[in-house]
Amino acid sequence: MPVHISEHLAIGRHTAGVLLVTAGCTFRQLLDDLVLIWSCTAGEDWIDVIHYLPFSS
């Protein structure tokens, strides 16, 4: 998935942002990170961003 998204961005296209969840991410970590994202950022902050969750392990 990250390769395809990078290629998509490289040709000038855009995404609303992509969050990729790593295999070791617990449901609690995922939930905490999503609440943090929702409460501290705006949708525009994530345009064309690729980021892995959890933020910390």
DSSP states of 34-51 as a string?
HHHHHHH--GGGGTT-EE
- The residues of the chain scoring below 50 in pLDDT are none
- Looking at residue 1, its pLDDT comes to 83
Structure tokens at 31: 């939930």
- pTM for the whole structure: 0.80
d(CA 54, CA 57): 6
Give the other-Cβ count within 10 Å of 32's Cβ. Answer: 15
Residue 16: partners with Cβ closer than 8 Å, 6 or more residues away:
43, 46, 47
Amino acid letter, residue 20: L
